Every structure is written in structure tokens, then in C-alpha cells.
Amino acid sequence: MAEEKTDIKLSAAEQKVVDAVEKLSVVEANNVAKYFEEKYGISAAAPVAVAAGAPAGEAEAAEEKSSYNVVLKDAGSQKIAVIKVVREVTGLGLGEAKALSESGGNVKENVKKEEAEEMKKKFEEAGATVELQ
């Protein structure tokens, strides 16, 4: 992995944390990021500009469930088929897809309703249990 230049100077303790995080799998790093978001309100996501024009009531109604998180609850007995679907919808490598299919969790976040339902159908055809949140 190529090192990026940065002007931020880290203490030895901070560097240990960064080194440990860099060794995590994609799924593990995602779980750590979610933990920090929930526990401390820290988010690395870029701020999203809110579109102007719609009255507040209409905007809230449209935002309620325009996007879903696709959550894998159980891979079922056909794990290889589920791993293939995970790889197809996420683009993850084999190791990360296998880890996600074994541990479950968010497969993809903020997906449009139609795409989320299509993903759910693919997972169910592969024998997995999926929930849209």
C-alpha cells in the first residue's frame, strides 16, 4: 500500500492506533467507523448539501424511506452462492465478501428502494436472509 504524504504529526500512541486500523479488513474497519459515529458522533463522510425548493413537510416525507440499508442477517446453507452475491453487489474481494457473509451486517448503505429490493431478491434466491432498514 502506497503511503500518502500528510502534514499531520502523530504521537507514538496515535501512530499505534493508525497502524492497528490499517491492518483491519474492510468489514472490521467499517465496524470501527460505525462505532465511532454512534458513540462520539464522528463521521468521515463529506457533508451533503440539502436541496432547496421543497417545503419542509414534503422534504421530510420524501426522505423518510427513499433509501435503505441492505443488511445480511443470515447466509443460510448455500454460503458460496451468498458470497458470490456479496461480491456482485459490493465489489469486495473474496476474503472480505466471505467475512461479511459469515458475520452478517450492512452489505450496502443508502440504496434506492428499487435497487435494495433487487439486492434482497438476489440474496433470498441464494438462500440468505436479508433485511431492508
76-85 long-range contacts, CB within 8 A, separation 24+: 76/126, 76/127, 76/128, 76/129, 77/127, 78/126, 78/127, 78/128, 81/126, 81/127, 82/123, 82/126, 82/127, 82/128, 84/126, 85/119, 85/122, 85/123, 85/126, 85/128
Q: Which CATH number fits domain 65-132: 2.40.30.10, 1.10.287.3610, 3.30.1390.10, 3.50.50.60?
A: 3.30.1390.10
Query: Average per-residue pLDDT in the chain?
Result: 78
What is the residue whose three cell numbers read 458470490?
84
Mean pLDDT: which of 2-11, 46-55, 57-66 is highest? 2-11
Rounded distance between C-alpha atoms, residue 120 and residue 133, angstroms: 11
> What is the rounded average pLDDT of the residues 33-52?
64
Q: What is the pTM of this model?
A: 0.52
Mean pLDDT within 36-62: 57
Alpha carbon distance 112, 68 (integer Å): 6
Provide mean pLDDT across the span 89-104.
Answer: 87
The more confident residue out of 64 and 124 is 124
Q: Is the pLDDT of residue 62 over 50?
A: no
Query: Residue 37 pLDDT more than 50?
Result: yes
Domain segments of the chain: what residues?
Answer: 14-44, 65-132
Position 4 scores a pLDDT of 55
- DSSP state, 70? E
pLDDT tier at 121 (50, 70, 90 boundaries)? Answer: very high
